[in-house]
Structure formats: C-alpha cells, structure tokens
Amino acid sequence: MEIQLSGMCGNSPKNKLAEDLAVALITGDTKTLTHLLSGDASVELVGSERYPLSAVLQGEASVPELTLLTIEHAISHGKIAAVSGNWMTRGGIRFAFSDHYSFATTKGTEVAAARCYRIKLD
C-alpha cells in the first residue's frame, strides 16, 4: 500500500495528529489509534454507523483492500481538525473522504470524536 501525505503539517502538531489519525482510521492501524483517540472516543461514518472505540480498534471503520491513500489537506483550529483526500482499492474503486475531528482538549493531544464522510467516485 502506498501512502502520500499532505506535506502541510510542518509547524503544527495538531495538523500532524489529524493527518496521522486519518491514516490510522483508514488503514486500521490500531497502535496509532490507541494513542490518538481518547478512551471514550467514537467514530461516525456518516450515512452508516457510529462505532465505539472498541469497534474501531477491531478495524470496523477501516478500508479493506487499500492500495493507495492520498492525504490532500490537514487543518486544525482550536478544538477541531479536518483532513481530506482520497483512496483506491485493489479493484480500482476510488473514494474521496473528509474527516472532521473534535479534540478532547484544546491542547489537541487526543481526539474525542470523529465524523467521517466517505464518497465513492467510480
């Protein structure tokens, strides 16, 4: 699997955290998810389901058969952050995504809630 990052996170730890979280959610990286999500975090796939942390850590919100993940933008302000980009699966199906995160505190070291939009392009 190839991952292309935005390159926009230089001096912003919150932007970097948001970008890392997007990659971890989509790829199912449970080690990173454990560090970046608060203990009572939830992840909502808009139009689908809301997953508690335990389900997220079991990979229920990740994308199967991922071949390419591109992060286009990662931005944050105060207690919120957003990340957008796209991915492709082994079958050549492309999706665009936009994830919106609420940090647990203004420090921005953990995310308490994620609302994830996934749009099939092909």
pLDDT per residue over 18-77, tens digit each? 999 999 999 999 999 999 999 999 999 999 889 988 889 988 889 989 999 999 999 999
The dotted CATH code for 2-120 is 3.10.450.50
For residues 111 and 119, the answer to whether their CB atoms sit within 8 Å is no
State whether residue 61 is helix, strand or coil. Answer: coil
Report pLDDT for 10: 82
For residues 108 and 40, the answer to whether their CB atoms sit within 8 Å is no
- Specify the pTM: 0.94
Q: Where are the domains of the chain?
A: 2-120
Report pLDDT for 61: 87
Q: Quick one: tokens of 102?
A: 């609420």
pLDDT band at residue 9 under the 50/70/90 scheme: confident
Q: What is the mean pLDDT of residues 110-116?
A: 96
The residue among 36, 44, 35 whose CA lies nearest residue 116 is 44
Report pLDDT for 81: 97
pLDDT band at residue 8 under the 50/70/90 scheme: confident
